[in-house]
Amino acid sequence: MAISDDTQAPRPSLSDRVYAWRTALLGSRAFQRAAARAPFAARVARKDGEALFDLVAGFVHSQVLRAFVDLDLAARLAHRPKRAEELALEAGLPPERMRVLCQAAASLNLMQRRRDGRFALGRLGAALPGIPGLAQMIAHHDVLYRDLSDARDFFTDGSKTELAEFWPYVFGATGAVSADTAETYSELMAQSQTLVAEEALRVVDLRGVKTLLDVGGGTGAFLTAAGLAHPDLQLHLFDLPVVADGAAARFARSGLTERATITGGNFRTDAIPAGADAISLVRVLYDHSDDTVRMLLAKAHAALADGGRLIVAEPMSGGARPVRSTDAYFAVYCMAMRTGRVRSAEEIAKLLTEVGFSGAAQVRTSRPFITSVVTARKS
């Protein structure tokens, strides 16, 4: 006796049937061969093929970049082009291997090959030293690459990652953090926050703000940039004492000591200092879970003066329109850190509204791969 199945799958919609047809067509070897003979289709197929090959070769490209940084080739070529043999002698590499590296770096625009056979810096290679924190970021990525070496295991579980141990500062936020660990973390964050500050301060108007409180501000890189841009602005930094202690020297070097207040504390267990009419959270939220973020935002709301502003600056997911720099990089990086996640501007705005903020809105930046910005007010 046959048993009827009342749980039949719903009939696919027209759009789903068109999608399935298109996917099967594009994946057909016969279609690929035919497309290669048609001029327009051939250009599209070639472009798609090149894009797929770039994805396959991406890891090798990243390792060429890592070698370029590790061997300090930007500095070695800063004053004149050199032959691969000369660079090999300086860097202690076999000449034939240096030639392969130089050719690879030239293909990626890190270097240029001259007609006389010498190698010079390409546009990207020449720009790299001028981007704060980039070389340090590249240098530590071997940790992330090891975590991703078994991609299926990483996305299936990922409960043990080396990157999580590389940044114990985040995990140690509820306990003791060594001075060396804090210094390592803070220096890299300070370097990268220079770019974040440039981008955020370009789009956020701080005119009329009397006191800016930067929560989780590390050694004060963001506040220093804000203070130099706004001579009447009072600065207040709040972070773990072992981290915040390094801010005094930075403020002193920039002549901001008289305008700067430093408060050591832990936003998980301590109240956020009250009275500021603007609070900034720069690359803070994506380090933490939703529950921790809600708690932090609620504390910020309580600390702000009425009518005060909250400024969130960090890389954000594209949400309904995925963004390569955040959804295919920062989101994976955060997953490897195992502490937080990359959120879209809409998600952050929703969290802000939940804890009592109003008017939460994204402020567009020109370089979202560095940071995006969301602002809100305490009504």
Q: What pLDDT is stored for residue 360 in this prediction?
A: 97
- pLDDT of 172 reads 43
Closest to 198 (Cα-Cα) out of 223, 217, 220, 225: 225
CA nearest to 262, candidates 238, 286, 281: 238
* DSSP per residue, 138-165: HHHHHHHHHHTSSHHHHHHT--S-HHHH
In this prediction, residue 174 carries a pLDDT of 43
pLDDT digits (tens, 9 = 90+) for 302-319: 999 999 999 999 999 999
**Euclidean distance between CA atoms 47 and 70, whole angstroms:** 32
pLDDT at residue 168 in the model: 55
In the CATH hierarchy, which fold is given to the domain comprising 135-377? Answer: Rossmann fold (3.40.50)
User: Which of 84-93, 128-137, 208-217, 368-377 has the lowest average pLDDT?
Assistant: 128-137
Structure tokens at 61: 């490209």
| Contact between residue 192 and residue 213 where contact means Cβ atoms under 8 Å apart | no
- As a whole number, the mean pLDDT across the chain is 89
pLDDT in the model for residue 125: 96
Q: pLDDT tens digits, residue range 245-263?
A: 789 999 999 999 999 999 9
Model confidence at 177: pLDDT above 60: no
Tokens representing 375 are 């602002």
Whether the pLDDT of residue 1 is over 60: the answer is no
Look up residue 356 and give its amino acid. G
Contact 217, 203 (CB under 8 A): no
pLDDT at residue 328 is higher than 80:
yes
pLDDT at position 243? 78
pLDDT above 90 as % of the chain: 69
Sign of the dihedral through C-alpha 357, 266, 168, 371: positive
Average pLDDT of the segment spanning 56-79:
97
CATH of 27-128, picked from 3.20.20.70, 1.10.10.10, 3.40.50.300, 3.40.50.1860, is: 1.10.10.10
Q: Where are the domains of the chain?
A: 27-128, 135-377
What are the angstrom distances between the C-alpha of 345 and each of 143, 174, 353, 361, 367?
Answer: 29, 27, 12, 8, 15
Binning pLDDT at 50, 70 and 90, where does residue 171 land? very low
DSSP secondary structure string for all residues of 58-95: HHHHHHHHHHHHHTTHHHHTSSS-B-HHHHHHHHT--H
pLDDT for 354 beyond 60:
yes
Question: Per residue in 15-61, pLDDT tens?
Answer: 888 878 877 877 777 777 776 677 776 777 778 889 999 999 999 99
Q: pLDDT at position 24, please?
A: 81
Give the per-residue pLDDT at 173: 41
Cα angle 296, 302, 304 (rounded to 5 degrees) comes to: 100
